[in-house]
Amino acid sequence: MVMHAHAYPDIEIPTPSQIAAVALNNQPDENGEQSMVLSMGPQHPSTHGVLRLAVELNGENVVQLAPDVGFLHTGIEKTIETKTYTKSIVLTDRMDYLAPMSNNMVYVAAIEKLMQQDVPERAQTLRVLLLELTRINSHLVWLGTHALDLAAMSVFFYAMREREYILDIFEMLTGARMMTSYFRVGGLAWDIPADFIPTVEDFLTHFLPKVDEYEDLLTNNLLWKQRTKGVGVVNAADAIALGLSGANLRASGVDWDLRKTMPYSGYETYQFDVPVGQAGDIYDRYRCRVQEMRESVKIARQAIERVKQMHGQPYVTENRKVAPPPKSEITYSMESLIHHFKLWTEGFRPPRGSAYAAIESPRGEIGCYVVSDGTPKPWRVHFRAPSFINLQALPHIAKGKLMADLVALIASIDPVLGEVDR
């Protein structure tokens, strides 16, 4: 398969069947050397999910490889098409299970765009706060497992320690630690509890010095730099041709972050920087993501100050044809009771048409394309999964590298296989 991009180089990506053909027809060359085909995964712990890699090796060097995906296929997109728009939100959590609120956000954003539905400012601000907590949560898992893959075990424990704090916050807010399903079309599922903001403030104060600790252990560590600097280099042209996004793209020197270039939820009103690398190697991808955690703290603090000034403002649209009325209103309003009944038995009906929305998830540009036929269930839903697209860079950056480098390369891409297969 050849990936084409206008004015950018053609990059050939082998398929698993091509690698299998090498195994079947493998013969020694004129020097008597013979390559070996190795199946890495899908049960291998360092493939960061149920991923199989068909790898052709010459000694310890990777000749070529092909990702073999689909072992975690859940049929989420087709299942969504059998449910109402609101009932489908719970399925989006289970794609990128490290960033469930990002999945919620892009799905409801596409529907809101289709329906031209406004969202209250307080709900938009809370969304930004939760999206940045989600980004930190996801990056902590990436950092801990990436470090563990390269034998830095202490960092894994420290990163999980801080992540538990975030999961406690999610549990306080939604009752769930991972599959939160908190966003709704037009706003949020319910209001934040009274102790939510003070708890988040405590976490942000506690967390920022911890990022310095992570860097103290890794950034100038000689072994870490030897394993990551100059390894897995992707230049800017190749990164664009491969369709990379997120830190994988920015580490190659391309300043592209949808929060800045195509802002949503009011991101254009927040002050923050977009970390951009130069070398496009594992080390720069690491530095970009670590710095992103600091920037997320900066954004979250701005959002908290805004939420404090919006006390009493709505957390969801007051359009009763989209969001159910409060229970207190149902007790005296027959119209509200009818809205409640219709929304939970049938669901709302967007107009016929289609819409695409995209946001900056922890892994890059996640997009959602929704097609409506005017019924309460979507006719078609498709997600642009950044993990799926970023993963195609692996054969390109692994070619000629050591087998030992392959583990570090996978971790630096930061794929989530639930999102790849969905």
The pLDDT value recorded for residue 88 is 94
The pLDDT value recorded for residue 120 is 95
CB-based contact 85:347 (threshold 8 Å): yes
Q: CB 173: neighbour CB atoms within 10 A?
A: 22
The pLDDT value recorded for residue 72 is 83
**Residue 304, token pair as written in the block:** 């908290």
Strands 36-40 and 11-12: unpaired
The pLDDT value recorded for residue 4 is 44
The pLDDT value recorded for residue 21 is 67
The pLDDT value recorded for residue 64 is 87
Cα–Cα distance, 292 to 273 (Å, whole number): 9
CB-based contact 162:144 (threshold 8 Å): no
Radius of gyration (C-alpha) of the chain in whole angstroms = 23
Mean pLDDT by 10 residues, the chain (422 residues): 50 70 64 78 78 87 88 90 94 92 96 95 97 96 93 93 96 93 94 95 95 94 94 93 94 95 95 94 96 97 95 90 85 84 87 96 95 95 94 91 91 90 81
Largest distance between two CA atoms of the chain: 88
The pLDDT value recorded for residue 421 is 84
Give the Cα-Cα-Cα angle 30, 31, 36 (nearest 5 degrees): 95
The pLDDT value recorded for residue 27 is 65
CB-based contact 126:307 (threshold 8 Å): yes
Cα–Cα distance, 48 to 421 (Å, whole number): 13
The pLDDT value recorded for residue 371 is 96
The pLDDT value recorded for residue 3 is 42
Cross-strand bridge partners of residue 11 = 3
The pLDDT value recorded for residue 322 is 87
